Amino acid sequence: MTMARSELRRRAVRAGLLAAVAIVYLCLVGMVQAFSTRNIVGGNLPLSRILLLLPSAVAASLAVRPRVRGGVTMELNMGEAAGAGASIGLIAGAAVAVGIGIVNLIGQEAVRGVFNAVTSALMLTLTLQRSTVVGTAILVALSTATGALFALAGVLAPRLRRPIVTGLTVVLLMGMLQSVVRVMLVQLGLATQWLYSVTFGGLTYLGAVASFAAGMAAARLWALRREAAAADAAERAEAGGRPRIPRAMLLVPVGFVLLALPALLGTFLSAVLGQVGIFVLMGLGLNIVVGYAGLLDLGYVAFFAVGAYATGVLTAAVNSGSSLHPGLPFLLAVPIVVLIAVAAGLLIGGPVLRLRGDYLAIVTLGFGEIARVLVTSDWLKSFLGGAQGLIAIPAPTMSVGGLHIDFRNPQPFYYLALGFCLLAAFVSWRLANSRVGRAWNAMREDEQVAEAMGVSTVRYKLLAFACGAAIGSLGGALFAVQIGSLAPSSFVFFISIQSLAIIILGGMGSIPGVIVGALVLVGLPGFLTEFAEYQPLIYGAVLVAIMLYRPEGLIPNVRRTRELHEEEVEQDAWLEGVPEPAPSMTLGEAVE
């Protein structure tokens, strides 16, 4: 069934206006200009141009997706989709053109008084380094064409669309991560000139084609493998056997890569990976509290602070700024740090046992702030150093056969972080599949009924806080030794948000999801320094996009997917005025 003309027009205009707002915003905050120096492919496709066209592309491909109305799927044909996409691109491009016109009319200096990102460099970027009229016309044409192309891609059958999208994503990633990939290739003794342009830094045209083809091939192979796996699973279900190749076999190459990474990446990139490791730990810990037990904790930075300060005080030398300096070696201090964190977890968990949902979030938010205030306070100054913080926290060292290893150096630090992460991931994985994990699941779904099954919610909530605190404190401990000094200003609310964003992006309750989330949200800004300034903006955009289009996260936990999509179906049913399929309880009704 096709859609009514008027509805299609309305949808296209709305998507176009949204794309227009997004582009103008990205220009005004300076993001476009900041990305203008990183060439993705050749000399004519810097990241800034991609960013200029991205809103049109995304809006067009989303706007033409099939919709379900009253039990009927409405799809667009190719012509309609291309038309809608072109108008979306045109509206967005026109908005930029109008913006350029306004700036030229009032004068750049006057505009810059309010929007200081409006520089002549930005104007040149927007007009593609040409004269204002010609450049603007080309931009509008490009935007229109992009909208039309991506709208067409949006109505392609998934079988065709997925390889194309994957191919484009691979090209973009290879271009963006040019420094990382090139360093790795050089370390491996491979030639890079064919892939990366010496002049421009980005991919060569050959490299771009090769990356695109590789992406397409990977997508196709993946699809074939999934079909085979599905057939295999059906076969096995009949035979009742185990999978032919145990999945553990896959871990061997992954482990090898993980161990080789620091050698391939060099010092700077290893340091970024170490930072990622710290946030993998934070994500894994918070994942237990939020993902497994369903307790929304917005003050998770408290456990990070506990871990960092406990490590600092326990290992620091005499001149650290704390009157306590037992000077323990790092590995001896870690178990004590974990115990202290568990105690802190129980301390915070105790008062909030009766709270749920929003109330719990607000109270934990308060605890996070209390942690920051305590480490800053004069009251604890003699132990924690007050506003000056702690200094002279020694790096853990190790001597192996005359070789002295200092774990503050990025490469050894990476291995330390990797070890902690593996330990935490293993513990999380075992917990999820244990009796405890099942109790958490039941508690998250329906606290009262879980109790009627004999699940002690008091005990399991406290256990969740304790486990989450223990793992998070490991992240804090690493942070302390990585920097060697601690300042209260490091323990801000944003750390809690970062941890939460990681598990939302990756998928609640999913361990691989945490790793991917940390790589994207912490690793990417580390690898691409121009992203760092816009980190909160990107976090916000990512969270909104994930919540709207993929609430289960990038690598979802199976059960969570069911939960979220069931709500969606109920919501849609309600919106369409269709009675619910079967009476079922939601969490809100659990309290009478």
Partner 1 sequence: MSDGVGEQTTPTAGTRGDGQGTGDRRAILEMRDVSTHYGLISVLRHVNVEIFPGEIACLLGGNASGKTTTLKTILGYVKPSEGEVLLEDEVVSGMDTTEVVRRGISMVPENRRLFSNMTVKENLELGAYQRRDRKAIAKDMEEILETFPRLRERLSQKAGTLSGGEQQMVAMGRALMAKPKVLLMDEPSMGLAPVLVDQVFKIIKDINELGTTIFVVEQNANMALSIADRGYVLQTGQVVLADTAQSLLNNPQMREAYLGEL
Shortest spacing between CB 574 and partner 1, in angstroms: 16
Q: Which is nearer to partner 1, 468 or 509 (CB)?
A: 509
- Region near partner 1 per CB under 8 A, out of 140-148, 341-349, 516-524, 555-563: 555-563
Question: What amino acid is encoded at 316 in this protein?
Answer: A
Is residue 485 part of the contact set for partner 1 (CB under 8 A)?
no
Q: Which is nearer to partner 1, 141 or 458 (CB)?
A: 458
Shortest spacing between CB 403 and partner 1, in angstroms: 50
Is residue 463 part of the contact set for partner 1 (CB under 8 A)?
no
* Helix %, strand %, coil % of the chain (to 5): 70, 5, 25
Q: Which is nearer to partner 1, 399 or 584 (CB)?
A: 584
- Region near partner 1 per CB under 8 A, out of 15-23, 180-188, 372-380, 442-450: 442-450
Of positions 381, 408, 550, 559, contacts partner 1 by CB under 8 A: 559
Contact 288, 451 (CB under 8 A): no
Output the six-digit token pair for 59: 């809006």
- Region near partner 1 per CB under 8 A, out of 34-42, 343-351, 386-394, 449-457: 449-457
Of positions 453, 532, 573, 578, contacts partner 1 by CB under 8 A: 453
- Region near partner 1 per CB under 8 A, out of 121-129, 329-337, 343-351, 446-454: 446-454
Distance CA(75)–CA(585), nearest Å, equals: 34
Kind and range of the H or E run holding 67:
strand 67-69
Strand, coil or helix: 69: strand
Of positions 67, 193, 562, 576, contacts partner 1 by CB under 8 A: 562
Is residue 119 part of the contact set for partner 1 (CB under 8 A)?
no
Of positions 235, 566, 568, 572, contacts partner 1 by CB under 8 A: 566
Is residue 230 part of the contact set for partner 1 (CB under 8 A)?
no
Contact 52, 126 (CB under 8 A): yes
The set of residues, in sequence order, having a beta carbon less than 8 Å from that of 94 and lying 6+ positions away, is 20, 140
Contact 506, 514 (CB under 8 A): yes
Output the six-digit token pair for 420: 């902690």
Alpha helices in 288-409 (DSSP H): 301-315, 330-349, 357-376, 381-384
Of positions 70, 246, 335, 454, contacts partner 1 by CB under 8 A: 454
Q: At what angle do helices 511-518 and 493-506 cross, to 10 degrees?
A: 120
Residues between 368 and 407 that touch partner 1 (CB under 8 A): none
Is residue 236 part of the contact set for partner 1 (CB under 8 A)?
no
Q: Which is nearer to partner 1, 96 or 436 (CB)?
A: 436
Contact 79, 159 (CB under 8 A): no
Kind and range of the H or E run holding 73:
strand 72-74
Tell me how many degrees the CA angle 47-535-498 measures, rounded to the nearest 5.
140
- Region near partner 1 per CB under 8 A, out of 69-77, 351-359, 438-446, 531-539: 438-446
Is residue 254 part of the contact set for partner 1 (CB under 8 A)?
no
Question: What amino acid is encoded at 585 in this protein?
Answer: M
- State the number of binding residues for partner 1 (CB under 8 A): 27
Q: Which is nearer to partner 1, 385 or 551 (CB)?
A: 551
Is residue 445 part of the contact set for partner 1 (CB under 8 A)?
yes
Task: Kindly give the pairing relationship between strand 403-406 and strand 72-74.
Answer: unpaired
Tell me how many degrees the CA angle 477-483-486 measures, rounded to the nearest 5.
75
Of positions 441, 492, 542, 555, contacts partner 1 by CB under 8 A: 441
Is residue 587 part of the contact set for partner 1 (CB under 8 A)?
no
Contact 502, 522 (CB under 8 A): yes
Of positions 314, 455, 467, 503, contacts partner 1 by CB under 8 A: 455
Contact 67, 74 (CB under 8 A): yes
Binding site for partner 1 (CB under 8 A): 435, 438-439, 441-442, 445-446, 448-456, 458, 559, 562-563, 566, 582-585, 590, 592
